[in-house]
Structure formats: C-alpha cells, structure tokens
Amino acid sequence: MENRKVTLTYNDGKDSLDFPVLPGTLGPDVVDIRSFAKTGMFTFDPGFLATSACESKITFIDGDLGQLYYRGYPIEQLAENSDYLEVCYLLLNGELPTAEQKAKFDYTVMRHNMLHDQILSFFKGFRRDAHPMAVMVGVVGALSAFYHDSLDINDPHHREVSAFRLIAKVPTIAAQAYRYNKGLPFSYPKKGLTYAENFLHMMFSTPVEDYKVSPVLARALDRILTLHADHEQNASTSTVRLAGSSGANPFACIAAGIACLWGPSHGGANEAVLKMLDEIGSVEAVPAFMEGVKAKTHKLMGFGHRVYKNMDPRAAIMRETCHEVLTELGLENDPKFKLAMALEKIALEDQYFIERKLYPNVDFYSGIVLSAIGIPVSMFTPIFALARTVGWISHWTEMIADPGMKIGRPRQLYTGAQRRDYIALEKRK
Ligand code: SDX
C-alpha cells in the first residue's frame, strides 16, 4: 500500500500529526519522524532499540530468522564459496567482481600493505605490555598524519585510496602490534601469499625461519574474516558513521571504530569467551557457573545479541569451522571445544536463556578457532577489527557520498537541576 502513514494523536486535544511510513527492500518498514522536531518534543530511545539511524544498501540482518546478507548475498554462501578480498570488493562496490576486477582489486590491496618506515617508530612509544588494541587505536589514528594525499573526504579518488590503504595496512599494523608485544623484530608482508596467509606470515615468521602457512588454517582465518566483515549498524559501525558525519578523516573514523569495538559487550567478547572457558574449567563446573549467570553476577559471554533472537548464522558456520580446524590439527578432543559444546547444549535447553532468546553469537566459537590456529587471546579483537575495517569504510563511504548527509547530533531527556544562581564559596555549607 502506497503512502502509508502513522498518526500521532494527543490526549490533550492537540491536533494529531501524520508521519510517513518508508518501506525497505527487506526487513521492517520505518516511520519517518524527521518532522517530529516541530512538535517541540524529542523521541526517547536510549541504546537505539527501535531507532534506524540511516538508510543503507550494504548489509541486511533478520534477527528472528537468523539471516545475514552482504549486498543481498547470504553469509552462508559467501563463507562457502567466496574469499575475504572478494567480500571486501562486494561490500565496497555493491556487486561481485568479474575475474578481471577481482585480480586488479587483490593486486592493489596486496601492494599497499607495507607501512611507511617512520610509522614503525610509533609502536616504540608504547610499553611492551600494551594491549594490541591500544596500539591499533593509536597507530591507525596516526595514519592521518602520514597520508595527507588522501584526506579530502569529498574527493571520490581520495576516498578510494584511503579505503585501499586501510584494508591493506590494518593487518600489517595488527601483526606488528603482536610482534612488538612479544619483543620480536617487525616483519614485512610477503608477495605471492593470500590476505590471510600473509597475515599469518607477518604474525609468526622469524628472521631465522620462514613460517610455513597451513592452507587449512589460512582458509579458516579467511572465513573468520569474511564472517566479521560487516554487520549493519552495530556499535562500532555507528561510531564510525557518527565520527564521519563531522567530516573527520577516514583514518580518525576507523580509529574511533576500533576503540568502540574493544568493549567486552562488542568485539571484545571473543577474548572474554576464552577467559570464561578458562574460568569455568570443566563441564562439571558448568551448573554452578550458570547459577551465577542467572543471579546476574556474570554474563555468559558469546551469548545473546541485540538483533539475533535466534542463532547467529555466523555462529553456526564458526562452529563448523572450529570442528574442521580441530580435526585437521588432531585436537577434536580439545577440552575447551568440548566445554564450549557442552555449555552451548546446556544453555540452549535452559528456560532462562530460551525465555530471553539468548543464543550463541559469532564470538562464542571464534576464539576457540583462533586459539587452535595459534593466535594468542590478546589478538582476537585486533583480528575482529582488521576484518571489520572493510565494513566500517564501506559504511563511511556510503554516508559521505550521500549529498543529504548531516552531522549526527542526538538530543536528550534532561532530568538535572532546575536553573539556580551561583553560591559563593564562603556561603556554602
Ligand atoms: C557482537 O551489534 C552487533 O551486530 C554486534 C556484533 C557485530 O558483528 O558487530 O554482532 C558483534 O558484539 C556480538 C555480541 C558479543 N557480546 C557478547 O557476547 C557479550 C555477552 N552478550 C551481552 O552483553 C548482550 O547479549 C549484548 C550486549 C550482546 C546484547 O545486549 P542487549 O540487546 O542490550 O540485551 P539486554 O542486555 O537488554 O539483555 C536482555 C536480557 C537481560 O536479562 P533481564 O534483564 O531481561 O532479566 O538478557 C540478559 C540480560 O541480563 N542477557 C544475558 C546475556 N545477554 C543478555 N544474560 C546472560 N548472559 C548474556 N550473555
């Protein structure tokens, strides 16, 4: 039905107001409340549970059906048939690349993954035991001090160059953050490797011994990157959009996204899952742990999601990948994996979780896979950040290219003090 609307009626006799309903291609319609400001009131929606902050064509999620599409393609099909750089092309450009476009895109990304040698000196300003996410926030933000030739956000070529630089260099920065933390000399990208193979090479090669990349582990990591590439208007993507709406340069915006992702409720959850599994220790200790969850003394990390009220489709793919990697490594009896499987089974049968529609999310299994690959826990969220960089830059580009873009500036419900006069110090009690 065309020209649908929602009517706001007052119970104090004021004239009612009509607001147009805007249909999406998929998913819920939205009520366009942009004219609501003229009522002299604001809407109130802390945490944005019922608020769409923008229009986007990049990613679609259906939380009830557990669906996730990148530019219309189901995540299950992309995880099975595509690779991370092809997914990067898709998210940035809106279509799958032809063979020629893919070759050119891959070549361009893999030729921009070196860091300016002076950037390496930034790392040395950190304590060796700095969390790699602290290093990534700092170094990615500092890239704007180097790349003055791609900071004009209104120039499409500058936007494209920044996107390539970020997708190419963030893995190098993440790997160097790990190596600096370990006291290893910096490493360099190596030609002829895939994106995931090259990341593992930069992480684990040493001057005295080249790192032999396992194709199975590299494929598993590539799939993890694909699963984490984008996810609609999550907290860190919304952070990038809000930062970008002020006209800040893309490097500063991505640094803001990394900072937001760090939180344990968001991208820091995979690190928190591994710590939780270590804390639980054994299947026998699960019932007591679950009592603590129900008493709200702690959360079941890797469970629950603002949007998915069904299984996160990425969690199912991640569980399968977990199984493949552990079998490949002869670790199918890995105690952490067995504990995670037991925890998942118990939670999925427990009314507390069923009533609250709490299911495993993408972070529940990713940490186990990364651990099996040999990635230390402190590097889990940096890997999430490097995977999500393409999602962040795709949303940033979509927003900046929109001629109707406005600076984001929410209002509030003020419940503080009424107006009052200053009291001199000597008169205060
Ligand atoms: C990511 O947004 C995205 O798309 C994020 C992400 C992405 O790709 O960008 O998908 C990545 O961040 C995944 C989520 C990773 N986080 C965790 O695994 C941390 C644990 N999960 C929770 O912190 C929580 O589930 C959130 C933050 C993910 C969602 O929180 P909501 O939507 O604000 O839900 P809520 O806090 O209002 O919870 C509703 C109820 C509450 O109980 P009651 O007050 O109704 O009694 O569910 C409970 C909560 O206490 N609850 C949990 C729980 N999550 C919610 N109880 C125990 N364990 C949990 N994990």
Using a 6 Å cutoff on CB, does residue 356 contact ligand 1?
A: yes
Q: Phi and psi at residue 401, in whole multiples of 5°?
A: -75, -5
Residues 47-99 have pLDDT tens digits of 999 999 999 999 999 999 999 999 999 999 999 999 999 999 999 999 999 99
CA distances, 287 to each of 293, 297, 358 (Å): 10, 14, 17
Q: Which atom of ligand 1 lies closest to the CA of 47? A: 33
Query: Rounded to the nearest whole angstrom, what is the distance from the C-alpha of residue 293 to the centroid of ligand 1?
Result: 13
Using alpha carbons, list the distances in angstroms from residue 47 to 60, 81, 275, 306, 406. Answer: 20, 36, 27, 10, 21
Residue nearest (by alpha carbon) to ligand 1 atom 36:
306
Residue-wise pLDDT tens digits, 303-322: 999 989 888 999 999 989 98
pLDDT band for 390, please (50, 70, 90 cuts). Answer: very high
Q: Taking all residues of the chain, what is their mean pLDDT, rounded to a whole number? A: 94
Output 51 or 336, whichever has higher pLDDT: 51
Residue 178 makes CB contacts below 8 A (sequence gap 6+) with 132, 203, 376, 378, 379, 382
- 20 pLDDT tier (thresholds 50, 70, 90): very high
Whole-number pLDDT of residue 404: 93
Q: Whose CA is nearest to atom 43 of ligand 1?
A: 356
Catalytic residue status for 323: no
Residue 391 Cβ inside 6 Å of ligand 1? The answer reads no
**Mean pLDDT confidence for 28-33:** 96
Mean pLDDT calculated for residue range 158-175:
97
Q: Tens of pLDDT along 403-419? A: 999 999 999 999 999 99
Catalytic residue among 201, 222, 363, 395: 363
Of the residues 266, 323, 334, 350, which is catalytic? 266
Q: Whose CA is nearest to atom 2 of ligand 1?
A: 234
Our answer on whether the CB atom of 360 is closer than 6 Å to any ligand 1 atom is no
| Residue 417: per-residue pLDDT | 97
Which helix H or strand E contains 367, and what residues bound it? helix 362-373
Per-residue pLDDT for 1 more than 80?
Answer: no
Has 266 been annotated as catalytic?
A: yes
Start-to-end CA distance of the chain, whole Å, equals: 65
Question: Does the structure show a pLDDT above 80 at 2?
Answer: no
User: For residue range 185-243, what is the model confidence (pLDDT) as tens digits?
Assistant: 999 999 999 999 999 999 999 999 888 999 999 999 999 999 999 999 999 999 999 99
Percent of the chain with pLDDT over 90: 86
Q: Global pTM?
A: 0.94
Among residues 230, 305, 312, 395, which one is catalytic? Answer: 305
Q: Provide the token pair at 71.
A: 């530019």
Burial of 261 (0-12, 13-18, 19+ CB in 10 A): buried
Q: Would you state the pLDDT for residue 150?
A: 83
